[in-house]
Structure 1
Amino acid sequence: MAWFVVEQTYVPEKFAAVRPRHREYLSSLVAEGTVAVAGPVDGDTGGLVIYRANDREELRKILDADPYYVEGAISERTVREFTPVLGAWLKDQ
């Protein structure tokens, strides 16, 4: 499993209406262990999520199923692989 940091910039006039569906989707991913942490940044101009996935292709499918993406509420998305070495989220340090 790999870790990924995903930053998204919202389409201002669209994201608020989609937010309940987006959060429901992310909550299901939290429950299955795919999302470690998620939340808005910079006064709701975007969001940041840390995911665990087998690879970038699996992550892309997860991201593309997010209601924010499906309903056109994302204007920009960046994905970076992340290698945590210390932290409370790590079981084997």
Structure 2
Amino acid sequence: MFVLELTYTAPVERVDALLDAHIEWLDAQYAAGVFIASGRKNPRDGGVILAAGADRERIEKIVAADPFTVEGVCAYRVTEFYATKTADELAPYREQLPS
């Protein structure tokens, strides 16, 4: 599983101008089964996305296609972790530690 942390590198007005395209990009990743949660950080200086079911190479390609990345209004920090314990509702996303 991955935590994708976005930090805005441009004024929020530039971010807002790309918001519709970013939401379309998010929706496509939800439809593909990659993203499982997302939202703005508080204070509003970026956002967070939880992603599953993909390897790091695929995640890097997905991040590179985000309109926010393409237009240079945010930087991503990608953190991979093993979701070995979850709420019951997230059981399909539980992972085993590699051997």
Which TM-score tier does this pair reach, normalised by the shorter chain? 0.7 to 0.9
Task: Classify 1:56/1:16 alpha carbon distance in 2 versus 1 (closer, same or farther; 3 Å).
Answer: same
Instruction: Give the TM-score, by structure 1 length.
Output: 0.86
- Structure 1: give runs of 5+ residues left out of the alignment: none
Give me the whole-angstrom Cα distance separating, in 2, the residues matched to 1:92 and 1:20.
28
Please name the residue that 2:3 is paired with.
5
Please, what is the CA RMSD of the aligned residues? Answer: 1.6
Bigger RCO of structures 1 and 2 (CA < 8 A, at least 6 apart): 1
Q: Classify the secondary structure of the residue corresponding to 1:44.
A: coil
Q: Which has the higher strand share?
A: 1
Post-superposition offset of 1:31: 1.4
Aligned: 1:83 with 2:75? no
Higher radius of gyration, 1 or 2 = 2
Give me the whole-angstrom Cα distance separating, in 2, the residues matched to 1:31 and 1:54.
14
Task: Tell me the percent identity.
Answer: 33
- Structure 2: give runs of 5+ residues left out of the alignment: 95-99
Instruction: Give the TM-score, by structure 2 length.
Output: 0.81
Report the count of equivalent residues: 90
Ranges of 4+ aligned residues in structure 1 off by more than 6 Å: none
Q: Which has the higher helix share?
A: 2
21-30 or 11-20, which deviates more: 11-20
